[in-house]
Structure formats: C-alpha cells, structure tokens
C-alpha cells in the first residue's frame, strides 16, 4: 500500500507505521458512548477523542514531512531531483491546481492518504485468512481450486496477476468468503445531510447509520443454504461486487462504495492463489479450525489461523 501511495520512501519506518495503524484502527473501532449520547461528547469520558487526536496528529506529521520532500523544496529553497508520479504526486497536483471546484486542500490530501492506508492495510490479510480457513475446512473446495491453478498456471510457473481473469473458481471462492465473512460487517457509518424517510422510517439529519451487510448476506430469504460455504453459487449467477442489489454488498453500494475494489480483488486473488498454488497446507494435530470471530470495524478471527506449508512446486527457484 505504501509503495502504491507514495513509493519506496527510505525515510519511513514501516514497523512504526504499522504499529500506529493498528492502534488507530482499534481506537476507531472502539464503541464510544458519546456517539450514542452526544450530550456527553464534551466530556470525552473514555478518552477516545483525545487519543484519536494524538494519533491523527502523528500521521499528519508524517504526511506533511513527505509532502514537503515531494514538493522538491528543501530548507534552502532549491529544487530537488524530479520524481515519478505516484498517488501522492497526483493528489498534490490536484492541490496545486487552484480551482475551487476540483482542487484539494492540504488537509484533504492528508485525509485521503490516511483513509487509503488504513482501509488497505488490515482488510486484505483478513480476507486471505478467512479464505484459507474455509478452504482448509472444506478439502473438496481446496482440491477443486488446486486443479484450476494446475490447469491455468501449471506447476512450472508461479502465480502472477495476469492469470487472475482465467481463475474463475478462485474468484468464486473469494466472493463466497466475503459473503460469509465480510471484512467490514457493518460497512462504514453513513450520515444523512438532511432528514429522510426510507421504507416508512424517518432517518434524522446528522444521525449515524449502519448497514448490517453481515446479516443481509446470510439471510435465508435471499440465499439458499446461506450458512454453507459454497463457492459454486457464484458460478451459477452473475452477481458481482458492483451490482445494485441489497443481498451482496461486501464493499458497500452506490456512490459511497469502496473505491479500492479493483485493488482488493487483485491482491486477495494473488495472495490466495499464490499460497494454494505454491504449497500444500496441513494442520497440526492439536489445531482445531473454528469460525469464531470478534466483532469490530474489521471482522477478524478470534484465534489466528496456524497452518503448515509444504512446498509442492518442482523447482526451488520458483520460491525466490
């Protein structure tokens, strides 16, 4: 994610960045009594607001330092060497455009960078872990996926992004995983800008609205045998992530749906495909697979998956 957003910046301590991201996500996901009773907000009873402000200040300080370097202006005001355009550079060009209708403020640039790095850091590994858990629980599905990878990729090659469009069963496996285990079970909160009536219910202006995607994607009225892990259901239908329906929306829907769908699809497919294609996976005798999860902004397993990889490709060079 950081390479995509601002390139390989040697000045960044990625270990510290990851630690801070984990802390920020925990703070963001912690239930806040002030959200339920706004009259209590000025007291910050749980200290969540002060903690969030401190964490936000740290991230914005990091981004400001990078933006200063990116503008090619040092302390002496001289131009530095030209750098290639990455996402940060594109945002800075929008910032410098000077058009009130299409330009971005510096705070908006920093906020976008933080949104993207937070949204893309925890979600994809969580999806991969749930996918591997379901495949290990269902050996027949694992075998079917291996057969597809053997046919499309072959054992003389390594999994690459170019193979993804041909791996239809892999796509179905990930879609089914996101149906049963949506990374953001309540999506992200929405706040209406004006009071609205929907389905006979009055939604007041400024209230916080959550969408229970987890429940909708397990609804018996919408899905056949909804609790069963059955990737084949997505081979028999044309349901996709961008459909305007209300039974499958792991990335949200409409104008506010996740902007990172394309990257998430490719990253999850590449990671799962690589793990299954390159290794046989086994569980230790004392390991018992379970699907218990812990509720939060990101739906994670209560106990992390631990599995044993065994190399299955014939050439060791393929693992470099």
How many Å apart are CA 103 and CA 93, to the nearest integer?
8
3-state secondary structure (DSSP) of residue 216: helix
Question: Under the phi-then-psi rule, with left for phi > 0, alpha for psi from -120 to 50, and beta for the rest, what region is 47?
Answer: left
**Residue 132 belongs to what H/E stretch?**
helix 123-137
3-state secondary structure (DSSP) of residue 239: coil
Count of beta carbons in the 10 Å neighbourhood of residue 225: 9
207 is in an annotated binding site: no
DSSP string, 5-20: HH---TT--HHHHHHH
DSSP code of residue 313: S
Q: Residue 96's Cα: distance from chain center in Å? A: 29
How many Å apart are CA 272 and CA 128, to the nearest integer?
6
Q: Which residues are annotated as a binding site?
A: 258
Q: Which residues are annotated as a binding site for heme?
A: 258
């Amino acid at each position: 994610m950081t390479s995509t957003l601002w390139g390989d910046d040697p000045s960044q301590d990625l270990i510290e960045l990851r630690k801070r991201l984990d802390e920020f996500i925990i703070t963001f996901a912690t239930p806040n009594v002030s959200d339920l009773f706004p009259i209590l907000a000025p007291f910050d009873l749980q200290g969540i607001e002060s903690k969030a402000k401190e964490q936000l200040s740290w991230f914005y300080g990091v981004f400001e330092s990078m933006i200063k370097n990116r503008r090619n202006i040092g302390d002496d005001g001289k131009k530095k060497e030209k750098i290639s355009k990455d996402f940060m550079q594109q945002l800075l060009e929008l910032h410098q455009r000077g058009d009130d209708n299409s330009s971005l403020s510096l705070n908006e640039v920093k906020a976008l960078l933080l949104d993207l790095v937070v949204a893309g850091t925890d979600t994809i590994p969580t999806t991969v872990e749930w996918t591997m858990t379901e495949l290990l629980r269902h050996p027949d599905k694992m075998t079917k996926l291996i057969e597809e990878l053997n046919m499309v990729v072959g054992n003389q090659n390594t999994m690459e992004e170019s193979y993804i469009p041909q791996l239809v069963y892999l796509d179905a496996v990930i879609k089914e995983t996101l149906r049963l285990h949506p990374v953001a079970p309540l999506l992200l909160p929405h706040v209406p800008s004006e009071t609205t009536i929907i389905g006979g219910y009055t939604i007041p202006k400024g209230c916080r609205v959550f969408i229970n995607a987890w429940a909708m994607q397990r609804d018996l009225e919408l899905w056949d045998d909804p609790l069963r892990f059955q990737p084949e259901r997505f081979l028999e239908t044309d349901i996709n992530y961008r459909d305007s329906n209300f039974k499958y929306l792991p990335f949200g829907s409409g104008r506010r749906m996740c902007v990172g769908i394309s990257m998430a699809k490719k990253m999850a497919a590449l990671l799962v495909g690589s793990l299954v294609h390159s290794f046989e996976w086994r569980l230790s005798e004392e390991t018992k697979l379970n699907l218990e999860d812990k509720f939060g902004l990101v739906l994670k397993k209560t106990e992390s998956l631990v599995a044993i990889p065994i190399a299955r490709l014939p050439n060791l060079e393929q693992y470099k």
